[in-house]
Structure 1
């Protein structure tokens, strides 16, 4: 089998010739070791700072060239994901966002008082203060039931189209698909949870507005040549969901089900990236028609063998190598994790090996190489 057929077969629950390999993302520090140079590939803070400086075209050209070269060198990877931050739709040509004022080496402030902070742990910029977090007005008028549709500028597809053209028919490609938010768009996480509790009718309105907007975008969407799509909504933390399972079924699952159905109508398979302890909503994911569950977090009690038993062939699984081991473990521990994952989930197909989240910032290069080496030795059926 070629990589594309192998991954498609596994995601459909079948038994391919070999276990496919994929990751949600390979962050920039590992990518730089493979490429032998600095890159914007998954360098989230670096990309944003370049956008502030008006260097959009430089970023996009680096993303295109480096993503193609990275996966040409990593030809053991069957799956390439073009639906993660920085590696998806890109800003349009001429993009020059508001540039915040730099306060110190790690802090920036926008004119409206919002504050960004750089984290060396994730090499990302995070909004740490928003003065209007709780005062920004929200009403039904913000969520029209017949929302207007404006298609993305064609230049937003530069990265997706270039990488797809380089690997179409050869690798299994995941790309962006217009979808309704699978978390009610009522502000940031803290505010949205309060709004769900205090104004559930507004949350219902936001859901219906989002579904209507997504339906218009989906009707206009044309596939540039990829095989599936991946959504990255996290509904849970280590001990359970952020909202009650009942609230999730009311405000999140309908969007998930509608998105999956639309993707299937478009000929795409649906992969759900969902960190955290998702036991209380796992059946809801399966009922929605999710083809494959990625980001299975063992440290959140999502033991791969138990999830495999619960899914019972109704949903493919993707993961098995704890990201924590890739960052802080040893090559021997990583090899053991690969073998344990194969023992737990390989038999019967419907399994893709990868990190429990991604090849994250801080991954030790020797650990990454150990994962690939042990995988190559154990992947055959």
Structure 2
């Protein structure tokens, strides 16, 4: 099978010739090491995905800086279109440093991002033109996370109790933007959509299932339905211990779930047993400890064990538990991919 056919077969709960391999992103320093290059570009990242044996690649729409600043430590940073403050460290990492949507007045006067500007889709277009045999998955956010980061988590979580109308308005604004972004990406030709919307700490969800069902689920369901009506499969991403919310994510209509974080206690074998007939599972190879500090032989063992648990009957795509970040060991990335490619149904 070619990569795209392999991925689409898995997304349809079919059995491909082998488990498809994916990662939501590869940090630029890792791309440079893998490609033995000095200058990063998105074109180089696309070639890196192909070279190392991935079957699928994420196409990223751009989020632009709104206002630049220098903090009291002399670090340069910016406020983006969602009101998130980002501080840039010496190695180029953009750390979240709080939100600026401190009140309804700021929300009402905020200049919200425009989903229709062509410049937002430059890298999406490059991905579709250069990915060739790879399946391309369009990236969007969900209703909660960008609202929570612009507002700050502690405030939006209080809003659910003290000012739910405002929390709802904020999340609807975010959802409406991402619906338009997803529709544009689908019209451009992506093969599937991934909705990234974090709901959980390692210890459990940010909110009770009751709060999720009342405030977040209706918006997420609307977003998922729009994309599925346009003929694509929808994967949902959330880090953390997401297991208590899986039944509600299924109610939202998602086709697949990423990242099934083992360090947060997500048991992929149990998830497969309980939900594998309704969900394609994506992920579960720990990128925090195993891929960063483990030995290649340990990575190979975990990959084999994970495939044995998650792949029977189809509906599994192997991936790390978040992304290939700059702390991941190169040898471990290659061991993960090589071992997955050796496994046959």
Shorter-chain TM-score tier:
0.7 to 0.9
Pairs within 5 Å for 1:319-358: 319-323=283-287, 324-358=289-323
Q: What is the match of residue 241 of structure 1?
A: 205
Residues 139 and 196 of structure 2 are in contact (CA less than 8 Å); yes or no, is this contact kept in structure 1? Answer: no
Indicate whether 1:71 and 2:35 are aligned: no
Pairs within 5 Å for 1:1-381: 1-40=1-40, 62-63=41-42, 65-74=43-52, 76-82=53-59, 88-90=60-62, 98-101=67-70, 104=73, 107-108=75-76, 117-118=87-88, 124-128=93-97, 136-138=102-104, 142=108, 150-168=114-132, 170-177=133-140, 181-183=143-145, 185=147, 187-210=151-174, 223-323=187-287, 324-378=289-343, 380-381=344-345
- Using the size of structure 1 for normalisation, the TM-score is 0.79
- Partner Cα distance (1:143, 1:221) in 2: 28
Query: What 5-or-longer segments of structure 2 have no aligned partner?
Result: none
Q: CA deviation at 1:329?
A: 0.8
Residues 286 and 320 of structure 2 are in contact (CA less than 8 Å); yes or no, is this contact kept in structure 1? Answer: yes
SS in 2 for 1:185: helix
- Partner Cα distance (1:24, 1:267) in 2: 21
Q: 1:18 to 1:90 in 2, by over 3 A?
A: same
- Partner Cα distance (2:145, 2:225) in 1: 17
Q: CA deviation at 1:291?
A: 0.8
Query: What 5-or-longer segments of structure 1 have no aligned partner?
Result: 41-61, 83-87
Q: What is the match of residue 58 of structure 1?
A: none
SS in 2 for 1:355: coil
- Partner Cα distance (1:253, 1:182) in 2: 10
- Partner Cα distance (1:222, 1:298) in 2: 31
Q: CA deviation at 1:123?
A: 5.4
Superposition RMSD on alpha carbons, in Å? 3.1
Q: Deviations over 1:87-108 (max 9, x none)?
A: x1236xxx77533236557x33
Q: 1:291 to 1:171 in 2, by over 3 A?
A: same
Q: 1:202 to 1:89 in 2, by over 3 A?
A: same
Q: 1:335 to 1:266 in 2, by over 3 A?
A: same
The number of residue pairs the alignment matches comes to 338
Q: What is the match of residue 50 of structure 1?
A: none
Residues 228 and 270 of structure 1 are in contact (CA less than 8 Å); yes or no, is this contact kept in structure 2? Answer: yes
- Partner Cα distance (2:49, 2:5) in 1: 17
SS in 1 for 2:30: helix
Q: CA deviation at 1:149?
A: 9.6
Q: CA deviation at 1:338?
A: 0.5
Q: CA deviation at 1:205?
A: 3.6
- Using the size of structure 2 for normalisation, the TM-score is 0.87
Q: Deviations over 1:182-207 (max 9, x none)?
A: 34836121211121121123223434
- Partner Cα distance (1:129, 1:119) in 2: 15
SS in 1 for 2:317: strand
The structure with the larger Rg is 1
Q: 1:148 to 1:155 in 2, by over 3 A?
A: closer
- Partner Cα distance (2:310, 2:78) in 1: 48
